[in-house]
Amino acid sequence: MKKIRIQDCMDVVQCFGRTGTTKEGYFSCNWTCSGLRFGFQGSSLVVRVLAVAGIETDPALGLVSGMNERRETWPYLAVFLDDEEEPYQIFKAGKADHIYLLFQTEKEEYHTISVRKLTENCKGKVFFVEFLTDGEILRAEKVSYNLKMEFIGDSITCGFGNMINDRDRGFYPEDENGWMSHAAIAARKLNADFSVISYSGMAVSPGTGKNDFPPFPLADYYYPYLDRVTEELDGVCDDPTPWDFQKYRPDVIVINLGTNDAAVIDLNGDTNEGIVRFEADYYNFLKSVRKYNGSKPWIICALGSMDYFLYENIKRAAAMYCQDAEDARICCFKYGRMRINDGVGAANHPFVTTQIRMGWELADFIKKNNCF
């Protein structure tokens, strides 16, 4: 078995999502469904992974799975062979430094291999260091996509708790599968390449700040950067790495934010003032997304399927921006509501049944309205 450093084969590796190479030469892919794809000729392929566990405290923001329990949350990854939709295997990167078997067979074969992170950025990190193999890492045949999509969202877009039908359960990484989130499902239905920038608790507005509660992560704080979540963990707070928006130019950008903003408004107890602040902050975030991505992409301002309190305010902020900027490539979309008979995921999040329906609804909306 020979060792092949990740940094030495990046010229033949295709990347999914916002990924980067650390100063040590490791491949970092921490946003939901980010990862890498390559060709492999051989019989055995092992990857060395450095992992960092997240720390979960229950109950947090209404989670009810254990009073003040602190526990580690290790990331999960999926391996795909030959661009099949179903994973070849799913494994937990459950140690700080460990090797994992990606593929093995009795005789030498050629396959396209993809590895994607299923769990969200803030709940555990992965860094690919090197391959150990008897074969070769090769450039895979390029996939022909119909379009490129970007999803900006919160826990709903991450797929929080989507694989467990238990509304009283808190966050456990084995229950979160980004590949079965509505974002990934819509992308597959449309034959789209896609990138996900999502974070549980993500909000648009900080609110008016009248009451003291844990701050919600803000979209405009993270969106301009490659991976500010990971760099802050590493202590790189003052000078986070900007994302190069030329590297990935989406045709459609879906923003599903506003659910946590409703909670911010409730916690502050300032409905009227909070709504005014939310509309202004949503307007400004739209302005930033357009600035970074140029005039071509359609921007879909979506909400659902947990809460719709701010949907009319999102529509108003979007309409105001469209008018002021003379921008005709922005529209609004409401996912269908959660249905009890479809099951309810952890902490009252959409179960996988709902996530699938959301993905189909979004894909149908995009096709019907020619949003690409």
pTM over 0.85: yes
**Residues contacting residue 247 through CB under 8 Å, at least 6 positions apart:** none
pLDDT confidence of residue 214? 63
Q: Pairing mode, if any, of strands 35-58 and 136-138?
A: antiparallel
The letter for the amino acid at 84 is: E
pLDDT confidence of residue 59? 56
User: The tokens of 343 are what?
Assistant: 């099951």
Q: How many CB atoms lie within 10 A of CB 144?
A: 6
pLDDT confidence of residue 64? 47
Structural domains present in the chain = 2-138 (2.60.120.260), 147-368 (3.40.50.1110)
Q: Tens digit of pLDDT per residue, the chain (372 long)?
A: 899 999 999 999 999 999 999 989 999 999 999 999 999 999 999 999 999 999 998 654 444 444 567 899 999 999 999 999 999 999 999 999 999 999 999 999 999 999 999 999 999 999 999 999 999 999 999 999 999 999 999 999 999 999 999 999 999 999 999 999 999 999 999 999 999 999 999 999 998 876 656 678 999 999 999 999 999 887 767 789 999 999 999 999 999 999 999 998 988 877 899 999 999 999 999 999 999 999 999 999 999 999 999 999 999 999 999 999 999 999 999 999 999 899 999 999 999 999 999 999 999 999 999 988
State how far the Cα of 32 lies from the Cα of 152, in Å rounded to an integer: 11
pLDDT confidence of residue 19? 97
**Residues contacting residue 137 through CB under 8 Å, at least 6 positions apart:** 4, 9, 12, 13, 38, 39, 40, 131
User: The tokens of 17 are what?
Assistant: 């999502």
